[in-house]
A = this chain, B = another copy of it.
Amino acid sequence: MAYRETEKMRQRKAMARQKIVDCTYACVSDGGFRSARITRIAALADVATGTIYRHFESREDLFAEVFRLATQREVDKVAEALATEGDVTARLEHALRQFAERAIRGPVMAWSLIAEPVDPKVEEERLKYRRAYAALFEGAIREGIQNQCIPDQDASQSSTCLVGAIAESLVGPLSPAQADGNVSIAAEDKDRLVNSIIRFCMQGLTGARN
């Protein structure tokens, strides 16, 4: 025998794989999945196109993995915001703000995760992602209903409305950002936007104007 897989090689391989994932993430952040070409990813990662296929079965599989990682990051942030101390409505508001602000910071990625049409394997990941969100928001809304901070309602349906209102507000205006070379919005506009959305959402949830 001559060659056997060694620790050093395993690590080098893992690093190459990671670099491919990172560069794919960068490409997607820039123009969405659809415009992320294998050749561009390969060039960025400084490997040959063929190399990508030693690490991933197909473009679709690579994308599914990148999607999974990206969403995990987002969902974690929201979960974190919901897990703080305080009453349910405050925590929900905090979580919505987190969601909205992150989407504004990375509008193309937000659009890709929420709305861009993707291949079946990626769509499957998206379903899990939506379910994770739904579960988080729903849980909080249920808790709110229980201790009467929030009037009785279909928690699952309301959480869908929350996501929709935010997504449309952020992704709608910002997704043509890929078309024109859209510049990012000014900080005070961003704040007004986020506050406006949150007011609508919290009011839709609780009926309370604050």
Contact partner of A172 (CB less than 8 A), chosen from B130, B154, B199, is: B130
Q: Nearest chain B CB to A208's CB is how many angstroms away?
A: 7
Contact partner of A173 (CB less than 8 A), chosen from B127, B193, B205, is: B127
Interface residues on A, range: 35 or more
User: Contacts of A208 on B, CB cut-off 8 Å?
Assistant: 207
Interface of A is mostly: helix
User: Contacts of A160 on B, CB cut-off 8 Å?
Assistant: 165, 168-169, 172-175
Given contacts A120-B179, A199-B153, contact A165 B173 (CB under 8 A): no
Give the B-binding residues of A (Cβ under 8 A): 32, 34, 115-117, 120, 123, 126-127, 130-131, 134, 151, 153-154, 157-158, 160-169, 172-176, 179, 192-193, 196-197, 199-201, 203-205, 207-209
